[in-house]
Structure 1
Amino acid sequence: MTDKTLRSSVIKIYKELLFLGREYPQGYTYYRDRLHRAFWSQREIQDEEKIKQGIKRAEFVKKEIEAL
């Protein structure tokens, strides 16, 4: 994958997770802040494999939130 496709994948999953947070039990603001911190803490990762692993982890979290 190129840098642009990885970047767009990360942005896409971030937006999907953010959208799912509308109905989060503890409130949207709490959810949004936690999501932002989680993504922000990983901003320095340059390794393509680690980025792909992060995207897979985010997809898993997305499925878990949908199950709520």
Structure 2
Amino acid sequence: MAGPSTRLRVIKLYKELHRLGRDYPDENYDFNGKLRRMFEKNKNLTDPEEIEKALKLGEYIRNETLALYSLRKYRHLKRNYVIAPS
């Protein structure tokens, strides 16, 4: 069984991913719905190794989503601030 610190990590990761899902660029992609189904599918995990594996996947998704947002922001700035040739 997972300890209380693991439970807190899972809750923190879920909240963070849920907040990131609010700004997901593709409206046709149900980010928060998929997130909820993923967490519900894994709610009965008891093996610590499987829990860690699921947490690593969630952290990977968080990092990739943050990278997507940074790239979107960079592209927006690049489009709006064109440097004129000298």
Q: Which has the higher helix share?
A: 1
Q: CA deviation at 1:30?
A: 1.9
> Match of 2:57?
57
Moved over 4 A (4+): none
> Match of 2:42?
42
Give the structure, 1 or 2, with the largest relative contact order (CA under 8 Å, sep 6 or more). 1
> Match of 1:24?
24
For residue 30 of structure 2, give the secondary structure of its aligned residue in structure 1.
helix
For residue 60 of structure 1, give the secondary structure of its aligned residue in structure 2.
helix
Point out where structure 1 has 5 or more consecutive residues left out of the alignment. none
Quote the RMSD (CA, aligned, Å). Answer: 1.5
Q: CA deviation at 1:26?
A: 2.5
| Matches of 1:36 and 1:30, distance apart in 2 | 10
| Matches of 2:3 and 2:49, distance apart in 1 | 12
Larger radius of gyration: 2
The aligned length equals 66
Report the TM-score, using the length of structure 2 for normalisation.
Answer: 0.70
> Match of 2:12?
12
Point out where structure 2 has 5 or more consecutive residues left out of the alignment. 69-86
